[in-house]
Structure 1
Amino acid sequence: MSTQYCQIIAPAVFLLLGIAGILLVVIPIDDMREPPQFMYGVVLDAGSSHTAMYIYKWPADKQNGTGIVTQHSECHVKGGGVSSYAGERGGAGRSLEPCLDQALKDIPKSRHHLTPLYLGATAGMRLLNISNPTESEKILNEVGSKLHTYPFDFRGATILSGQEEGAYGWVTVNYLLENFIKYGFVGHWLSPGRDTVGALDFGGASTQITFETADVVEDKSNVMELHLYGRDYHLYTQSFLCYGRDQVLRRLLAHLVKTQGAGPHVSHPCYPAGFNVSMKLDMVFDSPCTADQKPTPYSPQDPLTVIGTGHYQHCLGNMSKIFSFDRCSFSKCSFDGVFQPNVTGSFMAFSAFFYTHVFLQRTTGITVTSPTLLEGATHTVCTMSYQEMLEKAPEQKGRLQDYCAASVFIQVLMLQGYGFDELSFPRISFQRKAGDTSIGWALGYMLSLSSLLPGESMGLRKALRPEAWAGLIFLFVFLILIVSGYLLLKTCQKKDSDGII
């Protein structure tokens, strides 16, 4: 009986294996694309007042040569900017260690050696490079040596030009607004064909304006060409060194000392009434932005007491003096003899523009959407006493005295300098983040550099077409049922035969 079963089962098994083998050989096989791995990039934004680290990621395959980049994480370095460590050996490098250690955790270990690492220093280091180029070079070398000790692909520590800082900020703004590329309903990345948005950046030591224009840019130093997602962009960009928030406050105080005399007391119309502060003269004049305003004779350790008077008109008058609106060798200028075409389109203002805008709204209840409202809110803040400010924004205690001056500066810069009016000013939006991504130059820098980084081709694997798999499964099930039925029939016939005997 066992011989009879073997005579039935063995041929059935071999038949199935043979059919399956033949089908696997003759059925066509496709190359199936596997989802790409992520590439990562790290940018250290070494600003004038502090350093921030941003980690970005993008699929290894790129769209029209540029990565679809998203922010993965960020870390803010404690202490001042790297330029503040001038003369302190090793300090700048050590300050970066906690954030770099975080990057080791945030980026998969298998991608460490493939992850480009950049450090871009901005206006703080540009100023140090002017006043002490030797010290500037030492800091960059020291920071570079520190970054080389980490397992990333370190690509260099450099000082960005003002134009680069402005242009990369513009890239960030328009990328986050999906003006370059967006994910369509059909499941593909599409070019939305929208107009781009101008970028307004207000940092600690410089301010930038960047936008597309159809006008002829008369000063070619203001032109920057970018290639992103298969398109070329022609930009006007200008960076004003010494017009960042911290340096403007110093320049204003230096102007007051110069005009009132280097006595021990100076009245400050932009400081609120009821606020006084004492300092040494070198706190005012130890910057390249104020060096030409030093009184004669000058002793850096001489004491200075600054007394707030809270007078809007006097503040506006003195602030206007740090600009020069008289000289211009072009058909039109913004200020300080710098060419600028007329502002066109929408703009996004970020960094200190955003924080000042929020403060004005909180303390005055005015949402600044026009030149008239900007002037009204600024006037209201500048006539508040220090105690009134403290009651409205107690968490800003260490900065309250500076908001009147910052607001007046923005008023002069935006309206007289850049030329925003009742029609164009409402098209400015003030923002700090878009989604989970911080607005600044770092993302734009990473996007531009990602176009230079080699992409990885998508992984391929051999795979059957879905319809082929379905056919094979059906065939196997059908054969199993036929063979099982055949064997069951044979078994029943054998039992019937045994019963008859």
Structure 2
Amino acid sequence: MGRISFSCLFPASWHFSLSPQVLPRFLLPSFRQLIFICLLVGLLGLLYVVLVTGKGQDSWIRKDSHFHRHLARVTDVEATDTSNPNLNYGLVVDCGSSGSRVFVYCWPRHNGNPHDLLDIRQMRDQHRKPVVMKIKPGISELASSPEKASDYIYPLLSFAALHIPKNKHQETPLYILCTAGMRVLPDSQQEALLEDLRTDIPVRFNFLFSDSHVEVISGKQEGVYAWIGINFVLGRFNHVGNADREATVEVQIPGADHQEALVRKRTAGVLDMGGVSTQIAYEVPKTVSFASPQQEEVAKNLLAEFNLGCDAHRTEHVYRVYVSTFLGFGGNAARQRYEENLFRNTITRNKLLDQHVGDTAESPLLDPCLPTDLKDEVGPGDRRLHLRGTGDFDQCRRLLQPFLNHTNQTHSSLNGVYQPPIDYSNSQFYGFSEFYYCTEDVLRMGGDYISSKYSSTAKSYCATQWRTLKERFDAGLYASHADMHRLKYQCFKSAWMYEVFHSGFSFPADYKNLKTALLVYDKEVQWTLGAILYRTRFLPLRDIQQESLKGVHSHWRHSFSFVNNHFLFLACFLVVLLSILLYLLRLRRIHRRTAQRCSSSPVQWLEEGLVSPSLPITL
């Protein structure tokens, strides 16, 4: 068969060879068209990588940066960069019984991940010192002149205003929270003081402040805020990644219809013993049952359920926390109750038996809770009871047990107060204030608490002659802030702390997950940190929404979800496929027209000017 070559009938980039056996090859594009199609397919593949896998990579980058921010949160002591426009600020004024303090906090823009909390930290000045200011006395001293409340608080807010950039004042939330000193005032006096603050502060300052931002908080709220602050600094609210199985706990989400179970990081419980009161707070991960309706009613007042997350529909930051405060169970208050009991019982016994025990230093009452041979006097006014220590730690413990007011009722604590069960095998507690002072100031055992070692060291201290203890004190063998008061009552407080922990709160003698501490990651953690974290929990929604809008205009791929990216890719693929089909149909039409014209006479081709004089024709 002959072969006809029509190299002039098509563009130079095309070359067709026509023969009766291979007519369908008219439908195939040339090499350049193959390259063009390959480029289209490659472009689609690149589009898929950018839209679909790019989101995953971006999420990984955000997680990685979150990890590094988390490390920075607990170790960062650098001066705050007030020139950073993306930095936000917040103020909390702690109006306590002896004075008031303002704490200035700051945090970067939220990263846009609704699973994460705000990265709040204390603001630091140019000398890297925390921005804090305290004034005295407490605001409750103004109960009779409430119109002076705003003047009283003015120096604190002026101090804070100088450290926060002026253009940030309007968006900086201010919270004024009053504690124990205000709680003891009548409601009318409380309200008068608060109303003066609500009225005058918006006139003097441009902070973000509303009526609900100033209030008298309960002891339960204060305890919850302290628990939040400590666990936040410890990183226990960070649920990203696979945590160590030993540091996780299965939680039944409060209020869930189907008792949904969630495995997340184990939070730390908090024990705090001050001079007057003792407090305990810890998460209750499982739903608890009650022995009676009365016990259930009491438990409702001691259990706090709250969501720290910015989205109320997400359950990963829902917590159920037990908080109880015991007035009169602090170290100094307990010693006072003990001495009053000694005095009262001794005077009564002396009258009944016609004795004179404790009337003079020569006939003292023996006190096992004082170091050996230490002499002391107790009692009201001129009537004094003379004591001499015998330093018997075990006997002191036995004498203190009745002061716990502990009952044999199931799930009861100090004073017979309800206490939910604790999973001692999978829990961790931090002990602050007197828990730390008792173990560290004199005994030098702060940190991980080991019951047997602690009781042995305390027993040895109690049994030591008072003269020897003073010599050690003068030689600087104890903590720098330990004083003579600590030395005198260390034996008593050691026994009291031991009994509160093991007999009052029922922790087993072999419990090994108590850590006594003064600081967390070398920083003092105030309940105010938990307060601002809780009260600003919805602020990330603003940043998330802004980030979404920003993504639409400047970085549009961030606004697509994983599923949407697949739909977009499929749509693009269909468009390109349709284009290729239309292209091939056009080639078919061109082929048909060419075949028709090839069947015409050469004269007709020449007349129509479709062939050049140099056109080769081969038969």
Q: Same fold (TM over 0.5)?
A: yes
Q: Deviations over 1:5-30 (max 9, x none)?
A: xxxxxxxxxxxxxxxxxxxxxxxxxx
Of 216, 227, 239, 1:159 maps to 216
1:449 Cα deviation after fit: 0.5
Give 2:429's aligned amino acid: F
1:376-455 mapped onto 2 (5 Å cutoff): 376-384=456-464, 385=466, 387-388=470-471, 390-391=473-474, 392-393=477-478, 395-397=481-483, 399-400=485-486, 401-424=488-511, 426-435=512-521, 437-453=523-539, 455=542
1:207 to 268, 274, 278: 278
CA distance in 2, matches of 1:44, 1:124: 14
TM-score (norm 1): 0.66
Distance in 2 of aligned mates of 1:269 and 1:146: 57
Q: Of the candidates 322, 332, 342, which is equivalent to residue 421 of structure 2?
A: 342
What secondary structure does 2:411 align onto?
coil
Report how many aligned residue pairs link the two structures: 397
1:91 to 1:142, Cα distance in 2 relative to 1, 3 A: same
What are the Cα deviations for residues 472-497 of structure 1, in whole angstroms up to 9, with x where unaligned? xxxxxxxxxxxxxxxxxxxxxxxxxx
Displacement after TM superposition at 1:420 (Å)? 1.4
Could you say which residue in structure 1 is the equivalent of 2:105?
56
Match for residue 437 of structure 2 among 355, 379, 382 = 355
Equivalent residue number for residue 216 of structure 1: 288
Contact 2:93 2:102 in 1 (8 A): yes
Deviation per CA, 1:100-159: give whole Å up to 9, x if none.
Answer: 443223322222233222233334544x34xx6666666666777886655434454433
In 2, Cα distance between the equivalents of 1:407 and 1:414?
11
The residue aligned with 2:57 is none
State the Cα deviation string for residues 144-192 of structure 1 (Å, max 9, x = none): 788665543445443332222222222122211212127879xxxxx99
CA contact (8 A) 1:350 1:440 kept: no
Q: Which runs of 5+ in 2 are unaligned?
A: 1-83, 124-129, 243-261, 291-298, 349-357, 557-619
Partner of 1:39: 88
Q: 449, 471, 483: which is aligned to 1:369?
A: 449
Taking the aligned partners of 2:160 and 2:453, their CA distance within structure 1 comes to 44
SS of the residue 2:333 aligns to = helix
Given the superposition, is the C-alpha separation of residues 422 and 314 from structure 1 closer, same or farther in structure 2, using an over 3 Å criterion? closer
Which residue number in structure 2 is paired with residue 259 of structure 1?
Answer: 345
The CA deviation at 1:324 is 0.8
Instruction: Report deviation, 1:333.
Output: 0.9
SS in 2 for 1:333: coil
CA distance in 2, matches of 1:416, 1:238: 16
Cα distance change of structure 1 residues 303 and 136 upon mapping to structure 2, 3 Å threshold = farther
CA–CA distance in 2 between the matches of 1:313 and 1:85?
47
For residues 298-331 of structure 1, give each alpha carbon's deviation from its aligned partner in whole angstroms, at most 9, with x where no partner exists: xxxx346575633335543443232112363xx3
What secondary structure does 1:193 align onto? strand
Q: Is the 8 A contact 1:368 1:377 kept in 2?
A: no
SS, match of residue 102 in structure 1: helix
Q: CA 1:378 to 1:123, structure 2 compared with 1: closer, same or farther past 3 Å?
A: farther
CA contact 1:211–1:236 (8 Å) conserved in 2: yes
Contact 2:306–2:319 (CA under 8 A) maintained in structure 1? yes
Measured after TM superposition, the shift of residue 216 of structure 1 is: 0.4
AA at the equivalent of 2:265: R
SS in 1 for 2:452: helix
Q: For the residues of structure 2 that align with 1:102 and 1:403, how far apart are their CA atoms?
A: 40
Q: Deviations over 1:266-312 (max 9, x none)?
A: 96654555464688x4xxxxxxxxxxxxxxxxxxxx34657563333
C-alpha contact (below 8 Å) 2:343/2:378 kept by paired residues: no
Q: 1:64-88: CA deviations, max 9, x gaps?
A: 3842211223425255655577779
User: SS where residue 414 of structure 2 aligns?
Assistant: coil
Are 2:119 and 1:68 equivalent residues in the alignment? yes
Distance in 2, Cα, partners of 1:277 & 1:142: 47
- Match of 1:371, as an amino acid? S
Q: Is the 8 A contact 1:348 1:431 kept in 2?
A: yes
* Cα distance per residue 1:234-293 (max 9 Å; x no partner): 2222222332344334333333333334999896654555464688x4xxxxxxxxxxxx
1-structure distance, mates of 2:199, 2:346? 47
Identity value in percent: 24
Consecutive unaligned residues of structure 1, counting only runs of 5 or more, are 1-34, 186-190, 282-301, 466-501
The DSSP-based 3-state class of the residue aligned with 1:224 is: strand
CA distance change for structure 1 residues 111 and 383 in 2, over 3 Å: closer, same or farther?
Answer: farther
Please give the secondary structure, in 2, of the residue aligned with 1:207.
strand
Amino acid at match of 1:418: F
